[in-house]
Homo-oligomer: A and B are copies of this chain.
């Protein structure tokens, strides 16, 4: 087999997170016949790895084997320099079982206060993995650097978007027009690499 994704391929997006599913489906620009892991009621594997790439690979592999379809998975998160890169791969877990990102953003603010640092540098990382059932997988990473701002601003995007301003921007990802975010986000950068490699 060649590592190519033909237009029209039936593809499962290995996420149960509606925000991610929406952004990923939009990136794919209707090139593929997309279903989500939630649509197919696939099991959600435990994210046991210590890296974004490892977790993306694990999720794509699990969805490909469970569905028999080519699977696309995303693992992404926020890394804060003054917190030694936390929450990182634990970004979703900081939001708790209720996926409460207001809580998660408060936690970031509290930890920063406790660290008594005025360093606001942070970055988002996105790893994307494509896995073929029984076959190979391709993994890429994209990153966007920026700074944190409190209180959170904007109701767009998802996750930590309301406290993150990309380098050179005053709007947070929560305030930014989705089309503009889609030009510059960590997810967009990862997808550009995937597309260059596969499509």
What residues of chain A have their CB less than 8 Å away from a CB belonging to chain B? 1-3, 48-51, 53-54, 57-58, 61, 135-140, 193-194, 196-198
Contacts and interface: CB of A to CB of B under 8 A. Distances in A.
A interface SS class:
mixed
A6 to B, nearest CB: 15
A108 to B, nearest CB: 23
A54 to B, nearest CB: 4
Contacts of A57: 51, 53-54, 57, 139
Nearest to A197: B136
A58 to B, nearest CB: 6
A136 B136 CA distance: 13
Contacts of A140: 135-137
Contacts of A137: 53, 138-140
